[in-house]
Structure 1
Amino acid sequence: MVWLWRVLAATCIGLGAVGIILPGLPTTPFLLVAAWAGARGWPALEARLLQHPHYGPLILDWRQRRAVPRRAKWAASALMLLSATMIWLLPAPHWLRIGLPLFLLGVAAWLWTRAEPSRKVD
C-alpha cells in the first residue's frame, strides 16, 4: 500500500512541476495532495514539502485552517474566468458552454469562502 501513496505523491509532484511552467495548470493543489499522500506513505517527501520556503507555509495554512491567500484566490478566479471565456469563443458542445461556467462559478464561490492566512504569504 505504501507504494500507492508514493506513486500518487510523485505524480502530483510531477504535475505541480508542470504547473510551474505551464500557465493555467495550478501548482499548489497538486502539492497539497502530494503532501497528503506523502504523510501516508512517504514521510521524507512530506517533510521536504513542509520545509519548502514558498510552498511549506501554504500547505501548513491549508492543513491548519483551510486558509487560501487572497492573491491565490484572485489568480484562480482570473484563470477560471479566462477558461469560461475561452469555452465560449472556441467550438464546444452547448452543454459544456453552460456547464463549465456554472461549475467554475461554484468553485470560485467555494474558494472565496475559505479563510485567509493570518500572516502575509508571498
Structure 2
Amino acid sequence: MRLIWMALGFLSLALGALGAVLPLLPTTPFLLLAAFSFARSSERFHDWLINHRYFGPPIRDWRESGAISQRAKILGTAAMAGAVALSAVIGVPPMLLAVQAAVMIPVCLFIWTRPSPQRVPVGVAAE
C-alpha cells in the first residue's frame, strides 16, 4: 500500500508543478494531495515537500488556517474568467458557457471566502 501512496504523491506533485505554469490546472489541491500521500508513504518526501521553498507555503497556509494567498485568489479567478472568455470567443454554445459559469462561480466564492495567510513581518516576534 505504501508504494501506491508514494505513486499518488509523485503524480499529484507532478500535476501541481504543471499547475504552477499552466493557467487552468490548479496547483494547491494537487500539492495538498501530494502532502497527504507522502505522509502515508515517505516521511522524507513529506518533509521535503512541506519545507520546499515554493510548494511548502501554500500547504502550510492551508493546514494552519485554511488560508489561500491573495495572489492565488487573483490568479485562480483570472484563469477561470479567461477560460470562460476564451470559450465565448471560440464559439462554445451558450448552454456550455452556462455550465462553466455554474461550476466556476461557486469555486470563486469558495476561494474568496477563505482567509488570506497572516504573515509575520521580518524582525517582528510572533506572539
Mapping for residues 55-66 of structure 1, pairs under 5 Å: 55-66=55-66
Q: What is the match of residue 69 of structure 2? A: 69
Q: Do structure 1's residue 45 and structure 2's residue 45 form an aligned pair?
A: yes
> What's the counterpart of residue 98 of structure 1?
98
Number of residue pairs aligned between Structure 1 and Structure 2: 120
In our comparison, the structure showing a higher alpha carbon Rg is 2
Distance 2:23 2:113 in 1: 25
Within 1, Cα distance between the matches of 2:36 and 2:74?
25
- Determine the C-alpha separation between the residues in 2 that align with 1:77 and 1:7: 30
Q: Give secondary structure in 2 for the equivalent of 1:10.
A: helix
Q: In the alignment, is the contact (CA less than 8 A) between 2:5 and 2:41 conserved in 1?
A: yes
More helix, by proportion = 1
Q: What secondary structure, in the 3-state scheme, does the structure 1 residue paired with 2:39 have?
A: helix
Residues 95-118 of structure 1: CA deviation (Å, up to 9, x unaligned): 321111121011000110101111
2:10 & 2:78 partners in 1: Cα distance? 28
Counterpart in the other structure of 2:87 = 87
Unaligned runs of 5+ in 2: 121-127
Shifted more, 91-100 versus 44-53: the winner is 91-100
Q: Give the share of equivalent positions with the same residue, in percent.
A: 36
Q: Higher mean Cα deviation, 38-47 or 102-111?
A: 38-47
Separation in structure 2 between the aligned mates of residue 91 and residue 10 of structure 1, nearest angstrom: 37
Aligned-partner residue type, residue 69 of structure 1: S
SS at 2:40 equivalent? helix
Kindly report the root-mean-square deviation, in angstroms, between the aligned alpha carbons of the 2 structures.
1.7
Q: TM-score, normalised by structure 2?
A: 0.84
After superposition, the Cα gap between the structure-2 partners of 1:2 and 1:95, relative to the gap in structure 1 and judged at 3 Å, is farther
**1:95–1:42: structure 2 CA closer, same or farther, 3 Å change rule?**
farther
If the length of structure 1 is used for normalisation, what is the TM-score?
A: 0.87
Structure 1 runs not aligned, ≥5 long: none
Shift in Å at residue 24 of structure 1?
A: 3.1
CA shift for structure 1 position 66: 0.7
